[in-house]
Chains A and B, each alone.
Chain A
Amino acid sequence: MKPYSFSNGLGVSFFLILTSNVLAAPVAMQDVVTHEQLVLVRSKSDNLDPMKLLAETQGADPSVVNRPKSLLDQSDIICFGNFATLVPKRAILQIPKNLAGRIQIKPGVTIQSWSDFFAANRGWITTVEVSRTQAEGNAPIAEETATRISKSSNLIVATYLGGPISVLPIKVAVDKNSKISKP
């Protein structure tokens, strides 16, 4: 038995004791196994299912109900020439009318990473670096930047450290003292 350790990346290590590998070594020549023989083996295996030693739980299958949404559904596609790339929805802050036709996939294009696509299309794409709090909608984009965006004729993509990031609508602080006036 040998100790084994691993780290969770947060500086915490866990030390465990392992048994030796439990798989048996391959055996000498055998005749091919039949379905009937495997029925017996599976029957025993089901009875000895090691998961039965753990507490059984119920509930919907999380791998189905909580499966991450489709990458394509949660992305906008920017396309030009024979290439296209994906950015998270809400990462595109401005689409000039003359560039609206480039926010859709065209048949036969090759998908590129954002960095490769952006490097080749800097002439009509401009990035705006945002902070995490701005992306979360907890802080507004600076007025100067917002003005620059509105005056730009380029497609504007929000980025965080160079990577496209979705920018949520600015959260409006709720004044608990305010009264809702009745019509």
Chain B
Amino acid sequence: MKTIFFRLITLGVVGCSCISAQTYTNYIRQTQMPAGVTWDASDTVAASGTQLSALIINPGGARFDLWTLKSEPLTEYLLASSYVGTYIPISQIVIDTEDTYGKDLTASGSLPVNIPAKLRRTRADRPFTVYVTVGGMLSGATDPEASKSVKFLRHVQSYGTGVGVGLDRTQATLKSQSSITVNGLKTLTYSVTSIPGSNLSKLRGEERFSVYSLADYQAPESQLASEFIQVWPVADATISGITQNQEIRYAMPTLTLYYNDVYPDSRTYAQVYQGEQVLGTVGTVVTGSSLIWDAAEPKNDVLTLSDWDRFFTRDGRWTMEVVTETPFGSTRLAWVTFSLNRSIEVNGTSLTTIE
């Protein structure tokens, strides 16, 4: 029997953004194929790191499952699963987006490197790229079929109106499945997500890409690698309390700004400038209108502006815009142009007084 030691990578203990080190206990289980012997392959599983498996893998291979358990209420999360075998190809998947959150910016090399304990993410209108590497594939006429080909799967799944906590991933939609029969790297670029939904700018969910081995007498089709990204909706905003081309004669009205689905790493604000609206104009940011949001999921907020006449230095046409700055650039979410006429004209004859 051949002794095989391989490097086991703890793929991170963050299957969802709610997991913290204090309340979760991690387990790595090694299941020998096809016998079914199961071993706790870990002593204490840190949030990230590597370790060697000391249990010899049989010719049938072994599956490694990384779990985390929440104590109260008792809930389990399967964070990662990977099958290895003597003749089974190996695979690596890396997903890259324009948002560098979760990306190891210190890593060198041509392929991006993601930080295991963080989820990569993008927005519903932005592209992303999937790098799939397969190695160790055989091509001999007598080699087992499972050594000569792997399955490549793409799943999409909507979060509905939620943020994905407690998501049942067995309910994901299998968008497509293909076969990879040659070693090497494949680069797949997608213009936008394919998560289902009635409003494509408001999609929230995840895209998952996986590589599976072929079934043979040793083991069923088993996961070799799998990664997913979260997709968050495009923000929108409403300026309430003023209408297009309204003429304002006295004090500026109290405005309500509705910010919806602002991106997890964003700064959203209202700005004003004199003149008709021109996309890309840099105006004066209105105090009290800014929302800086740095979190794991989008946010809605409502802000009120009052006593803000000081931002208008002269009468005339003015434009107010709501702008959001994200890793994807600046986006104008809403605008309104109005006329300001605060001059008071006094009509009538001059009056004098005689003492």
Contacts and interface: CB of A to CB of B under 8 A. Distances in A.
Interface of A: 1-4, 6, 8-10, 12, 14, 16-35, 38-39, 41-42, 44-46, 48-52, 54-59, 61-68, 70-72, 74, 86-89, 105, 108-116, 132, 135-137, 160-166, 168
B320 interface: no
B199 interface: yes
B39 A16 contact: no
Nearest to A159: B40
A24 B127 contact: yes
Given A29-B331, A165-B37, A45 B191 contact: yes
Contacts of A61: 153, 174, 177
A74 B27 CA distance: 12
A64 B170 contact: yes
B126 to A, nearest CB: 9
A137 B32 CA distance: 13
A29 B109 CA distance: 31
Nearest to A113: B44
Nearest to B136: A8
B236 interface: yes
Contacts of A9: 5-7, 90
Q: Say which size band chain B's interface belongs to.
A: 35 or more
A62 B220 contact: yes
B148 interface: no
A58 B174 CA distance: 11
Most chain A beta carbons < 10 A, residue from B38, B201, B223, B329: B38
A66 to B, nearest CB: 5
A33 B191 CA distance: 14
Contacts of A38: 124-125, 192, 200-201
Contact of B200 (A39, A63, A166): A39
Contacts of B72: 108, 110
A32 B234 contact: yes
Interface in B45-59: 45, 54-56
B280 A29 contact: yes
Contact of B74 (A2, A45, A72): A72
A161 B51 CA distance: 14
B29 A115 contact: no
